[in-house]
């Protein structure tokens, strides 16, 4: 079975489209992760009020707050590491697809390449027809 040369161009292009989609997905997930810090000022204000003695906080509540904070930090770190790993894997896939695409482009015979000749090639047929009697 002979490998079609068009496949060497189409398959890597499709893979690159999926890589771009994966990078957009990762960017959206990182944006969602960053938006979780929107309530940071309210949480800091609450802790400041407890520190000033304006709001009461018993030991059980303090332990629960610390446990939640540690759990959130662990999840956030895991999400950042997963996003980094995904970006590295997508970059590797993109590099391989780019290499296959380069090989596919070089495998296409020269007669199929478009000819961009500027003004001289488009004027030549007109001159040939004008000089004929």
For residue range 116-126, list pLDDT tens digits in order.
666 554 444 55
- Binning pLDDT at 50, 70 and 90, where does residue 92 land? very high
Smallest CA-to-CA distance from 103 within 11, 2, 1 is with: 11
Q: What angle do CA 88, 101, 99 make, to 5 degrees?
A: 50
The overall pTM is greater than 0.75: no
Tokens 């390449």 identify what position?
113
Question: Using CB atoms within 10 A of its CB, is residue 19 exposed (0-12), middle (13-18) or buried (19+)?
Answer: buried
Is pLDDT at 81 greater than 50 in this prediction?
yes
Is pLDDT at 85 greater than 70 in this prediction?
yes
Give the pLDDT score at 19: 92
Q: Average the pLDDT over 53-60 and give the result.
A: 90
Q: Write out the two tokens for 118.
A: 């500027």
Q: What angle do CA 121, 127, 130 make, to 5 degrees?
A: 155
Residue pair 90/82 in contact by the 8 Å Cβ criterion: no
Q: Where are the domains of the chain?
A: 7-110
For residue range 3-43, list pLDDT tens digits in order.
666 777 788 888 899 999 999 999 998 888 888 777 778 88
Phi, psi (degrees; rounded to nearest 5) at 47: -65, -40
Residue 131 vs residue 45, higher pLDDT: 45
- Binning pLDDT at 50, 70 and 90, where does residue 110 land? low
């Amino acid at each position: 079975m002979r490998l079609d040369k068009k496949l060497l161009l189409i398959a890597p292009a499709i893979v690159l489209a999926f890589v771009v989609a994966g990078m957009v997905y990762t960017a959206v997930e990182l944006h969602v992760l960053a938006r979780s810090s929107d309530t940071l000022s309210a949480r800091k204000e609450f802790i400041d009020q407890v520190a000033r003695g304006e709001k009461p906080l018993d030991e059980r509540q303090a332990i629960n707050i610390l446990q939640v904070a540690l759990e959130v930090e662990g999840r956030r770190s895991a999400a950042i590491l997963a996003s980094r790993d995904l970006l590295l894997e997508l970059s590797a896939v993109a590099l391989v697809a780019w290499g296959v695409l380069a090989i596919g482009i070089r495998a296409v015979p020269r007669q199929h390449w478009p000819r961009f000749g500027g003004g001289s090639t488009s004027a030549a047929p007109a001159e040939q027809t004008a000089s004929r009697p």
